Amino acid sequence: MEYNYLPHTDIEVSKICLGTMTWGRQNTEEEGHEQMDYALSQGVNFFDTAELYPIPAQAERYALTETIIGNWFKKTGKRNEIVLATKIAGKAPFTKFIRETGFSRNSIVEAVNGSLQRLQTDYIDLYQLHWPERSTNYFGQRGYQPDPRDHWEDNIHQVLETLRDLIKEGKIRQVGLSNETPWGTMRFLEEGKVHPSLPRMITIQNPYSLLNRLFEVGLSEISMRSKIGLLAYSPLGFGTLSGKYLEGKPPEKARITLFPNYNRYSGDNAVAATRAYKQIADKYNLSLTQMALAFVTSRPFLTSNIIGATSMEQLKENLGSIDVVLTPEILEDIEAVHNHIPNPAP
């Protein structure tokens, strides 16, 4: 395994992070525990979760993933071996069963305390805002479109004040963003710069893969110049970049098979790009899965690559990508496809 430091900290994390959003729906608690055991044995010390998980979100399954992780901590006693990240759910129609008050002080305090209880821990290493309160381009929306129904008032100072107080209480150590835009990222960073007593956002968890390199437009420069590290999610595009959907018949129990509305990586251009990337992988005798993951892990703005799996076979292949080195020739071929079919999935 290889490691990076979370920016501006002495917290060392594995360059592959174990994602958990299927535990409690597509995976049982026993399977989640098996994944954590194996990932830790392979040098993975970074787990990412959220109060919203498992997804798709359901009231009757609310925060089951955090509960599964908490039970593993209790069973194994290995909390101190893990850098733990979780998130507060943002305001949205599909989170009304959680709360409708966004990132108000009471909401953040309630969310943190709930996560601590379920995770059976006294502290969270990295606490993230799952998506902006503003109406903006997140979750599959390619560009910003002004929404006349968006009545958001800038509360970023108040959000950071609440997070600062929770840091002082020892409940969280560091804070980060997720599904954020260049404007939002800089707004948080500038607020912290103007008011040094406020905490600094150190990471941004956004989608990034061979099918979606939109992070490179604006955010990558912010990431590198301001040292806010990318935690890349969906590095396989809901499993599309494993190539398993190219055969015509969707595999049983696969994510897109079970939840067809998760189709942002399934359009004609995305399929064409996936086929082209598969040809590159075949040319160099590589697994498409491992080539796609190795590409993400190799990016200079990457802090950690969040992989997820619903089987141990998938997990082992995903973790094995850390040993794959992409030569200049492979990267040149990848760029040729990207130039021909740039960012086919939002």
Catalytic residues: 53
* The token pair that represents 266 in the structure block: 């399934």
Helices (H), the chain: 29-41, 64-76, 105-119, 156-168, 182-194, 219-226, 255-258, 268-283, 288-297, 312-320, 328-340
Are 89 and 67 within 8 A, CB to CB? no
SS3 175: strand
DSSP state letter for 242: G
Are 176 and 127 within 8 A, CB to CB? yes
- Rounded Cα distance between 15 and 4, Å, is 6
* CA distance to 189, 273, 294, 302, per residue, from 279 (Å): 41, 10, 16, 25
- Rounded Cα distance between 271 and 264, Å, is 11
Phi, psi of 13 (to 5 degrees): -125, 150
**Single-letter amino acid code for the residue at 203:** T
- Rounded Cα distance between 283 and 286, Å, is 8
SS3 297: helix
Dihedral angle sign, alpha carbons of residues 4, 179, 116, 103: positive
DSSP state letter for 310: S
